[in-house]
Structure 1
């Protein structure tokens, strides 16, 4: 005996909605078509599944017994369909931000291969873990120092050098690069550092080790506002680059040396993910990773062993 999945769906719709008319509306079908499907299912099974009453429709004893298996059957069919659709959709990659090193890794993967990609921007670890586990994203970049959720893997992907931005009246404005010791006692204004975010934690470590005060006060009114404040100040700095904050001629970018701080990007994915392009993307990210002697916070160093 082969069951018609459409007929099983119609049976479940009537049970859930309690009326043939409501089930028909939800399935975008006529009431007659729903009735025919259920009659076909009852004929195949050899038993009545529904009893019509003035209050609507209720499962018979046989219908109630069949109900759990019917739900399991439809759930399995939906999972199989979703799995196949997932294999043929673009690879969904969470880059955390559009102006950071991971976007270049994704771009080069797209340009050198034949895989389609979708760029996703999350708000950090909380939503990332859920999305990796349920398959709504296939891979994600970010900074992670603690234990990973079950089934999630991680490889080092990039160490992104971090420069500073200062106004053209700042004492360091005519320098192309400065040693980190020169920043001791400075205030880095970073209102976009969301409390408890992975990047805010990074700058807390950096500030504590090198004597830089990280000021997150005040609302973040956007990049232009930050650049206006930094550009007009003779002593404020912010960590960032001209890619993140373009179009401000009164702001100067300066490289940091001795040591150069780097933001550590890991690539993460879930064991259960079967997107056909995912293994190639993981390999591409690993090939892209070229570590140098850069500064990292202590919690990151075990995951990037060649960095200082």
Structure 2
């Protein structure tokens, strides 16, 4: 059914004049007549009665009028819902405790009235997340995706390099260090449970291990962050790696230590994936926010060579 014809019928029914409806819709009176005639042919019913003083709805027109108004209201709402700036910006932050979630939260705090929806596709790998962006399930996603694997139609902006830190308990031999070189971790066990083989962070840690001769253990069930903190607090040899913007909580008596990695500083390169040419104003504002507020890494950073520098 022609929405323009419906809008024209409602305008004539409410104004009582073809010319008044034409003026309201900014079309010619001839165009009004053609739209009404087309709608009446489609419905097989006369919707208007012409009189010497104008037009009024026929009996069929009176029955049809509230339905026509309802269709126009639903159409207007549908258009408004997807118009850039009116619908929520849906951003996949991967995990609510890590740096992308914190960055998006700070962005929201800068303008608390913005229409923003942070989601987590934590079961998806980078390729699946990029597909979700292309299909419009989400508007953007933070992923460490190899440059060669970024699909056509996806824009990838490297906006959030997160420096890595060593997290250890008080009994660990490096617990009092002001900083640690990655190469110095070669003889220490680093436990990062829960790494899925198909996930981009598996590729990141594999590349990191090869670059610095590290032994990263992903074996064993992952019982959650609390269990990992328990294990670190009780061990004199166990360590893990976390991002500088990650939020972990543990009891004060655990006395866990976060130690920066230096010479060089490994960074986890979160790319902001979005559809090429997406004009959502909040997406532009988010990019600008990340440009100006992202973590300041030192000059001697290390990142995988497969990420777009």
TM-score for both structures, normalised by structure 2 = 0.68
Which of 235, 248, 271 pairs up with 2:276? 271
Structure 1 position 44 matched with structure 2 position 41: yes
Kindly indicate whether the alpha-carbon contact (under 8 Å) linking 1:262 and 1:296 is maintained by their aligned counterparts in 2: yes
CA deviations 1:206-230 (Å, max 9, x no partner) are 1111121111111101111112222
Deviates more, 1:109-118 or 1:150-159: 109-118
Rounded Cα–Cα distance in structure 1 between residues aligned with 2:95 and 2:5? 43
Q: CA deviation at 1:297?
A: 1.6
Q: 1:255 matched to which residue of 2? A: 260
CA deviations 1:166-195 (Å, max 9, x no partner) are 121111112232222321121211112111
Kindly indicate whether the alpha-carbon contact (under 8 Å) linking 1:91 and 1:278 is maintained by their aligned counterparts in 2: yes
TM-score for both structures, normalised by structure 1 = 0.68
CA deviations 1:7-47 (Å, max 9, x no partner) are xxxxxxxxxxxxxxxxxxxxxxxxxxxxxxxxxx9973488
Q: 1:117 matched to which residue of 2? A: 116
Secondary structure of 1:171's match? Answer: coil
Taking structure 1 as reference, are residues 245 and 278 closer, same or farther at Cα in structure 2, changes over 3 Å only? Answer: closer
Kindly indicate whether the alpha-carbon contact (under 8 Å) linking 1:161 and 1:261 is maintained by their aligned counterparts in 2: yes
Taking structure 1 as reference, are residues 186 and 131 closer, same or farther at Cα in structure 2, changes over 3 Å only? Answer: same
Q: CA deviation at 1:82?
A: 5.1
Q: CA deviation at 1:156?
A: 1.2
Rounded Cα–Cα distance in structure 2 between residues aligned with 1:298 and 1:134? 29
Q: CA deviation at 1:268?
A: 1.4
Taking structure 1 as reference, are residues 207 and 5 closer, same or farther at Cα in structure 2, changes over 3 Å only? Answer: farther
Rounded Cα–Cα distance in structure 2 between residues aligned with 1:171 and 1:79? 66
Secondary structure of 1:253's match? Answer: strand
Residue segments in structure 2 that go unaligned for 5+ positions in a row: 7-37, 45-73
Residue segments in structure 1 that go unaligned for 5+ positions in a row: 7-40, 48-77
RMSD: 3.1
Kindly indicate whether the alpha-carbon contact (under 8 Å) linking 2:160 and 2:271 is maintained by their aligned counterparts in 1: yes
Which of 288, 299, 304 pairs up with 2:306? 299
Secondary structure of 1:279's match? Answer: helix
Taking structure 1 as reference, are residues 97 and 262 closer, same or farther at Cα in structure 2, changes over 3 Å only? Answer: same
Q: 1:245 matched to which residue of 2? A: 248
Secondary structure of 2:259's match? Answer: strand
